[in-house]
Amino acid sequence: MSRNKSKIIHHLAKRTQVTRQRRQVLLLTILMLVFGVIVANHVKSIHAQTENSDLMSRYRQRQEQLDRYETQYERLLEEQQVLSNRKEDAIARLLEREGQSELLDELSRVRALAGFTAVTGPGVRVILNDKPDYDLFLDSPDSIVHDGDIHHVLDLLRSQGAAAFAVNGQRVVTATSIYCAGPTIICNRQRLTPPYIIEAIGNGEPMAALVLADPQLAIRQTIAISLVVEVEVLDQLTIPAFAEANKPDPYINLLEVVNR
């Protein structure tokens, strides 16, 4: 009886060992298969990478160059701001010295009317954005913000008496041209990308109410299109001066004055 039992135990132990060995061999086989697939894929991607490495290195070079240009642009803007302030001070001093304070007032007023000075006041901020996770191949072109959407919001704000506007920090002036250029929008010769932040000084509540109740914008927000429209009433906001106020000539070079 005890001999039989020992035989059975021995048999079972042997079976367990064989099963474990088989399992290990199976695991090893699977691992080797995965290893093989990954190695093959890696070799393939190394080949592709060699082809792509030139593209990558050019991309890195351009990116570094762009970073330098962006830094230079920021520096030039700061310099322009400093020079503009210095010019304002110099004009004020000179006109005071020459006893022409009336001319100084006129100049300030005309510059304000032209949009050449930054202004503050209560108002509204409207944010327009493309459909979240917009896919060029799957989604309709209607699901991105177009120049018409920006014009429409500006028209709504104008009809509620807005006194000054900006789109992504670009002051909207009489000669402002807003139009689509591929997936971006050009405003005052600057390329803007979404989200488009439209700010306006004026009576915030009615402006916001009009935008929120607008049927055209409601259609643009339906599930099929899914444009994002956000509206915020602000107690105070600043609309910057027109960025090219110091040299507005490209915007008026076709205009011959008839009568002063």
Taking CB under 8 A as the criterion, which residues in 182-241 touch another protein? 190-191, 201-202, 238, 241
Closest CB to another protein among 108 and 129? 108
Contact set for another protein, span 117-146 (CB under 8 A):
117-121
- Which one of residues 18, 66, 213, 224 is an interface residue with another protein (CB under 8 A)? 66
Residue 36 near another protein by CB under 8 A: no
Task: Calculate the CA 24 to chain-centre distance.
Answer: 54
Residue 87 near another protein by CB under 8 A: yes
CA atoms within 13 A on the CB side of 245: 27
Closest CB to another protein among 127 and 186? 186
- Which one of residues 83, 212, 219, 224 is an interface residue with another protein (CB under 8 A)? 83
* Secondary structure of residue 61 in the 3-state scheme: helix
In the numeric block, the tokens 């006893």 are attached to 99
Minimum CB separation from another protein for residue 14, in Å?
A: 16
- Which one of residues 1, 3, 141, 247 is an interface residue with another protein (CB under 8 A)? 247
Residue 177 near another protein by CB under 8 A: yes
Number of residues that bind another protein (CB under 8 A): 100
Torsion of CA 243, 246, 250, 255, to 10 degrees: 120
- Which one of residues 1, 5, 46, 223 is an interface residue with another protein (CB under 8 A)? 46
Residue 19 near another protein by CB under 8 A: no
- Which one of residues 12, 18, 26, 28 is an interface residue with another protein (CB under 8 A)? 28
Closest CB to another protein among 195 and 251? 251
In the numeric block, the tokens 């079972």 are attached to 12
Closest residue by Cα to residue 236 from 208, 193, 200: 200
* Secondary structure of residue 146 in the 3-state scheme: coil
Q: What is the full DSSP assignment across 166-226?
A: EETTEEE-TT--EEEETTEEEETTEEE-SSEEEEEES-HHHHHHHHHT-HHHHHHTSTTT-
Residue 15 near another protein by CB under 8 A: no
